[in-house]
Amino acid sequence: MTRSELEHLIRASGAIVDDNELVIIGSPAILGQFPEAPAVLRRSMEADLYPRHDPSLAELVDGSIGEGSSFHEQFGYYAQGVGPDTAVLPAGWEERLVRVDNANTRGIAGLCLEVHDLAISKYVAGRPKGLAFTSELARHKMTDHKVLLRRLAKTRTPRAVRVRVKSRIAADFAR
């Protein structure tokens, strides 16, 4: 997904749910902070998002421009409506959101996770695709080892998950 495609999804999703702010929690959130992110970090064709003011309306996004919709067929990318609890995030993540709000979004703002918060959510989820993403973030020096450990310390997770995430972070920075 490109930054302009993300902006299109922000504009379309905001119009569908009549909300001027959408929280972007999936990997395309990288495009908020890094609009020209390396191609390896832009492989996803779906943006996980929800309306900030009424997250329950996320289902409308799915039904209108979600996977398999005519929007998806026409443009090759889509929005996936999710809820605020979809990602496990460090305390204070909302203060670090990166705002995407320009002429292409027509007054609707996409609030993208900051890169370290995004990475923590991927480490905690532990899915292979997400771990490949975090590895590439480290390889491209887009994340900092110490910042990740500080954010992990502010993330509510069971001890076993915290130990596993520390190990994954260490492995990404050992390369």
Same domain, 110 and 88: yes
Same domain, 121 and 54: no
Same domain, 97 and 153: no
What's the pLDDT at 142? 98
- For the chain, the domain total comes to 2
Structural domain boundaries, residue 91: 3-115
What's the pLDDT at 175? 75
Q: Which of 158, 169, 80 is nearest to 120 (CA)?
A: 169
Same domain, 62 and 106: yes
- Alpha-carbon span 100 to 82, nearest angstrom: 19
Same domain, 92 and 167: no
pLDDT tens digits, 139-167: 999 999 999 999 999 999 999 999 999 99
- Alpha-carbon span 33 to 23, nearest angstrom: 14
Same domain, 22 and 79: yes
- Alpha-carbon span 12 to 111, nearest angstrom: 15
- Alpha-carbon span 103 to 94, nearest angstrom: 24
- Alpha-carbon span 90 to 86, nearest angstrom: 13
Same domain, 79 and 155: no
Same domain, 70 and 83: yes
Same domain, 109 and 121: no
- CA 49 to chain CA centroid, Å, is 8
What's the pLDDT at 39? 97
- Alpha-carbon span 72 to 61, nearest angstrom: 12
Same domain, 93 and 42: yes
Same domain, 83 and 26: yes
pLDDT tens digits, 80-93: 999 999 999 999 99
What's the pLDDT at 160? 97
Same domain, 88 and 134: no
For the chain, 175 residues long, the average pLDDT of each consecutive 10-residue run is 98 96 97 98 97 96 96 97 96 98 96 98 97 98 98 97 98 92
What's the pLDDT at 50? 97
For residues 145 and 173, is the Cβ–Cβ distance under 8 A?
yes
